[in-house]
Amino acid sequence: MVLFILSEVLFFFGFFWSFFHNCWYPASLVNGWPPFGCDIFMMDPFSIPFLNTFYLLSSGVSITFCHHLLLIGTGGYILFFSWFLTVFYGLLFLDCQLEEYIFSNFTLASGVYGSIIFMLTGFHGFHVFLGLLLLFYWFLRFCVVYEFSSSQHVSFEVAAWYWHFVDVVWLFLFVFVYWYNSIGI
């Protein structure tokens, strides 16, 4: 799983490289970054993107609490509630991301600007979806098989690592794609 997460880090590194290359060295046809006319299309970073940041960071806290409960051997309703909060925040994140795409004034076909923004945020959204699938898989095994203990819960650890990876990538997206992009440097 560590190698898989490392490969995903390299994917995002390449996408961020493309973003910064076009941001700091825009082509003559683009005429600055964000390209002329696209700055009015950018969403206020302290609206939906900030709410999404809250959702993902809160889900990171709840999955960490869930892990803590597993480590001390406490299960039951508190563990279920912590897992449920994580999944709920993840679903809220995807809902807000979908709203942002629906109400966006630019598309994937809006040149290099639109393609980079949608590639970064869409690829991240896909990773959130995969993280939710991992969490559902873990919970299904937890409820059906009952093979988890304070020392044996590898599938949960894998899901939690992946979820924290998704959180960290979102922090980079929020800071650079939304906030840095909105100040127009």
pLDDT digits (tens, 9 = 90+) for 107-136: 777 777 788 889 999 999 999 999 999 999
pLDDT at 46: 86
Q: What are phi and psi of 3, to 5 degrees?
A: -65, -35
pLDDT digits (tens, 9 = 90+) for 32-89: 666 555 555 567 888 889 999 999 999 999 999 999 988 887 778 898 899 999 999 9
HEC string of the chain equals CHHHHHHHHHHHHHHHHHHHHHHHCCCCCCCCCCCCCCCCCCCCCCCHHHHHHHHHHHHHHHHHHHHHHHHCCCCCHHHHHHHHHHHHHHHHHHHHHHHHHHHCCCCCCCHHHHHHHHHHHHHHHHHHHHHHHHHHHHHHHHHHCCCCCCCCCHHHHHHHHHHHHHHHHHHHHHHHHHHHHHCCC
Give me the CATH topology for the region 52-182: Four Helix Bundle (Hemerythrin (Met), subunit A) (1.20.120)
Q: Which residue has the higher pLDDT, 105 or 170?
A: 170
Residues 6+ apart with CB under 8 A from 98: none
- CA–CA separation, 41 and 150 (whole Å): 49
